[in-house]
Amino acid sequence: MILPFILLCISSLYCFSVSYGEFCDAITQNQGPHPTMEQYSSFVRSAEKFAISDKRELAMVLSQLLWESDRLRTKEEYGCDNNKCLNTYFDGIGDPSKAYHGRGYIQLTWGSNYLKASESLYGNRRLLENPDLVCNVDQIAWDVSFWFWKTVVQVQPGVTDGCFGASTKAINGNLECNGYNEKAVKRFLMYKIVFDTFNITGNPNESGCYN
C-alpha cells in the first residue's frame, strides 16, 4: 500500500518542488495579479512534461515568462489582436490570412516557430493552422513557453549552471545584451524576487548577458 501512495505523491501538484503559495508570491511580489490555480496547475504540468524539476531553473523560467507576458497579464502581443499584425510576422510559412504575432507566455512569433512548436508538441500543424490556440488555451500557452525554453534557452551555455543573464541572451540577446541594458537589468531584478520567494539557497547569478 505504501508504493502506490508514493507514486501518487510524486505526480501530485502538492509534491512539486514549487508550491502554489510560492508561485503566487513570486507573481504578486513582482506586481502581477494573483494567479489562478489553473495557471499553477498548467505551469506544473508543463514543467513535468519537459522534465524541468530543478527549483532554480524553474525560477529562471518563471521570471522570463513574467517579463515576456507583462507578469502573466497577457498571452497575446499587445496591439496585435483581431489580426492587426497580420503581415508583421509572416515569413512565408503558414496561412497569409492568419497572423503569427507573439502568443503564449513567452510570445512565440513567426510561422516557422509556430510550425516547429506544433510538430514537436503534437506531431502535426495545428498551431500553424490555428495560432489563436496559443493564447486561448492556457495549457498550450505554458507548453509552448516551456518548449521554447527547452529547445532554445536551456541549451545555451551557462543556463543550466544558473546564469540568469545567459537565459536573457538566449531570448533577446541581440537587443538587450550588447552592454548595459535597463530591460535586461529589470529581468534580473524580477528573477531576484522569484529566487527569494521560491526559498532557494545561495544567491542569484546575474552573469551571461551584459556582464
**Catalytic residue list:** 68
Element (H, E) at 55: helix 55-68
Between CA 147 and CA 153 the distance in angstroms is: 9
Amino acid letter, residue 119: E
CB atoms within 10 A of CB 185: 16
**Residue bearing cell 506544433:** 118
CA–CA gap between residue 32 and residue 69 (Å, rounded): 10
Angstrom distances, CA of residue 71 to CA of 10, 118, 171, 198: 29, 25, 16, 16
